[in-house]
Amino acid sequence: MGFLQDIAGRVEEVAAAGGKFADAFVRTAGATVAGALVFVEREIGYAQHAAKRPRSGKPGEKEGSHK
């Protein structure tokens, strides 16, 4: 009986360690994804702001053309 109890205790330890690892992994991945979403949202805001700004130059002149 002592052998089976020892193995059961070790299985519980491994399961607890695996749970801690999984918890830490999910938290880290969640923080990474959240940071990426904030970055993407900020970049979209910059792009929208830039699209609303009037372009400098003469009307009818294409951007990047030099004569």
Q: For residue 40, what pLDDT is reported?
A: 92
Whether residue 40 is contained in a domain is answered as yes
Q: In this structure, is the dihedral angle defined by the CA atoms of residues 6, 8, 11 and 13, taken in order, positive or negative?
A: negative
Work out the end-to-end distance of the chain between its first and last CA atoms, rounded to an integer number of angstroms.
Answer: 93
pLDDT in tens, 9-63: 888 888 888 888 888 888 899 889 899 999 999 999 999 999 988 777 666 656 5
What type of residue is 6?
Answer: D
Q: What is the pLDDT of residue 60?
A: 61
Evaluate whether residue 36 is within a structural domain: yes
Query: What pLDDT is stored for residue 43 in this prediction?
Result: 94
* Domains of the chain: total: 1
Whole-number pLDDT of residue 57: 62
How many angstroms from the chain centroid is the CA of residue 27? 11
Q: Can you give the residue range of the structural domain that contains 44? A: 22-52
pTM for this model (two decimals): 0.49
Q: Which two tokens mark 48?
A: 């929208």
What pLDDT shows up at residue 65? 55
